[in-house]
């Protein structure tokens, strides 16, 4: 039996005692909070970001069809019907055939709200035709995603761009 007196006071400089200080714990919590905040911004995009992304993807699909006409040497048409983007090729027998390799579903909640070619309104599912000469007729397709409108415009020189929808 050891009858030596036990120390009643703990010395913080004693190397045998291990643990974290309150300051170290607070720094770790602050860093973890910053990482979670940055991840949340990227994991849960706003409606505005979703609208821009989905309209941009549709604009890129339209550009792809335009490029197919330019480089393929045959007219190519596009349409948006039944929540799907469709590409059409003009065949040698003068009939349009759907190109299933270019067909894709529209993004979440994306809908065509208006379509005009050369200033004339068309039905939302009418076709826009791209000719192999690289020149086209100006068009404007307005789309809505979660209530936010964007417009895809094409000019006579064949450029396709995403713009803010005019009210």
pLDDT tens digits, 66-123: 999 999 899 999 998 888 899 999 988 989 999 888 898 888 788 888 999 988 998 8
pLDDT at 16: 63
Domain with residue 149: its CATH number is: 3.55.40.10
Split into its structural domains, the chain has a count of 1
Residue 57 domain-assigned (yes or no): yes
Q: Hey, which bits of the chain come out as E strands?
A: 76-81, 84-90, 96-98, 104-105, 110-117, 120-122, 128-130, 139-145, 148-154, 160-164
pLDDT tens digit sequence for 130-154? 999 877 789 999 999 888 999 999 9
pLDDT tens digit sequence for 121-133? 988 778 999 999 8
11-33 mean pLDDT: 80
Specify the pTM. Answer: 0.71
Residue 78 domain-assigned (yes or no): yes
Domain that holds residue 83: 47-164
């Amino acid at each position: 039996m050891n009858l030596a007196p036990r120390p009643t006071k703990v010395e913080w400089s004693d190397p045998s005692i291990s643990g974290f200080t309150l300051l170290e714990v607070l720094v770790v919590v602050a860093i973890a909070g910053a990482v979670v905040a940055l991840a949340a911004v990227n994991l849960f995009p706003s409606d505005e970001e979703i609208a821009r992304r989905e309209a941009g993807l549709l604009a890129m699909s339209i550009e792809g069809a335009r490029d197919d006409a330019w480089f393929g040497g045959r007219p190519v048409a596009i349409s948006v019907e039944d929540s799907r983007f469709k590409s059409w090729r003009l065949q040698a027998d003068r009939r349009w055939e759907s190109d299933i390799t270019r067909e894709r579903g529209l993004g979440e909640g994306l809908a065509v709200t208006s379509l005009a070619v050369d200033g004339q309104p068309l039905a939302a599912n009418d076709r826009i035709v791209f000719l192999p000469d690289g020149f086209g007729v100006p068009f404007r397709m307005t789309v809505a995603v979660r209530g936010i409108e964007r417009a895809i415009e094409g000019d006579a020189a064949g450029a396709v761009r995403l713009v803010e929808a005019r009210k």
